[in-house]
Amino acid sequence: MRIAMIGQKGIPAIYGGVERHVHDLAIHLAKNHEVYVYSRKWYSNSQDKKFEGVNIIHTPTIHTKHLDAIINTFTSTIHALFQKYDIIHYHGVGPSLLSWIPRVFAPKTKVVTTFHSIDRYHQKWNFFAKVILRLGEKTACTFAHKTIAVSESIKQYCLNEFNKNITYIPNGVNEKTTEIFANKLSQFHLQKNNYLVMVSRLVPHKGAHILIEAFQKLKSENKDNENIQKLKLAIVGGSAYTDTYIKKLHLQASSINDIIFTDFQTGESLEQLYVNSIALVHPSLNEGLPITVLQAMSYGVPTLVSKIPEHLEVIKNPEVLFQENNIEDLKNILYNFLQKTEEEKKQIGKENLEIIKKYYSWQVVVPEIEQLYKRITK
């Protein structure tokens, strides 16, 4: 099959959950199909036309907060109309606004949309943008031949809001196949097993400000605990048109020296930041199905997460769950987790890895997506 991916910023993935999803999915599909990923030059900063078997097509955009995604989706869609693809796969509710175009002008091509998250809940958008994203949710469930929800909660949302019974196929992650070292940690002034990590775009709904305050309280209330006083927090990620928020985070964190901002990281550096941490903390207030949590679990790393529905789909252990937007509860979960023995922490990591192997490995997810493609192209 000839398959096009539209809506993501590009490939190879530098940051972003949707970008990571498309990156990995495209590479796996390219083993058996012709796969084309539409990309924005500013994102990958590369003119490459191929990446690990995936064809890259750059189309124009206007690199601003409100125009970037929709302009690039439009130019990509117009290009795609003339390529005789079997599948055009839109990623995200915003890009799905234009998924009617191939339905009308390339009727032989099948259209798939993945509903990754309820984007209008994100605090970075103004009122008008939220209205448009709400419309995008409806189009995601209406224009496509098949719509995929990455979480059961999104599937239920679409049933409740639009009376559409869409298909649940979760995000996938790669399992670790090679040894990961710790030699890149020194550039961040971190040591193996002596830091907590958060990996995320730094936008308000991801909750970095909540984690920083909980971490500071943990330190201030346990001055006689040497292990806690030595502990560091690595916040891995950068701006998504949220420079003002990031300045506030740096100011908030300035009262202690143990919070490290690494900006976005990829490749070995990112892998090492995951694998050598004591635990990943994800205090998000709203998600689709968080790839950063799945990725940490795939490395056998304990994950401490907020009690939002999307996290609860993946993680059931009450010892690693804290109430969202609750600094005191997060502080207590951090404290209780740090009191566990090394063996108890490793056991949590092992349980995480088993969940990934059973439900969220690409070896499980890719065949489900291929079967969906095949059903609609018969």
pLDDT per position as a tens digit, 252-277: 999 999 999 999 999 999 999 999 99
Low-confidence winner among 119-133, 213-227, 288-302 (lowest mean pLDDT) = 119-133
Tens digits of residue pLDDT in 293-328: 999 999 999 999 999 999 999 999 999 999 999 999
Model pLDDT, residue 212: 98
pLDDT of 349 > 70? The answer is yes
CATH 3.40.50.2000 for domain 185-359, yes or no, is yes
Which band of pLDDT confidence, cut at 50, 70 and 90, is reported for residue 88?
A: very high
Note the CATH number of domain 2-172+361-377.
Answer: 3.40.50.2000
Beta-carbon contacts of residue 37 (< 8 Å; ≥ 6 apart): 4, 5, 8, 10, 11, 22, 26, 54, 55, 56, 57
- CATH 3.40.50.2000 range(s) for the chain read 2-172+361-377, 185-359
Which band of pLDDT confidence, cut at 50, 70 and 90, is reported for residue 123?
A: low
pLDDT of 119 > 80? The answer is no
pLDDT of 120 > 90? The answer is no
Model pLDDT, residue 164: 93
pLDDT of 80 > 80? The answer is yes
| Residue 107: CB atoms within 10 Å | 8
Q: What are φ and ψ of residue 240, in 5° steps?
A: -130, 70
pLDDT of 122 > 80? The answer is no
Model pLDDT, residue 240: 85
Residues 286, 306: Cα–Cα separation, whole Å: 9
Q: Chain centroid to CA 195: how far?
A: 22
Please provide the average confidence, as pLDDT, over all residues in the chain. 95
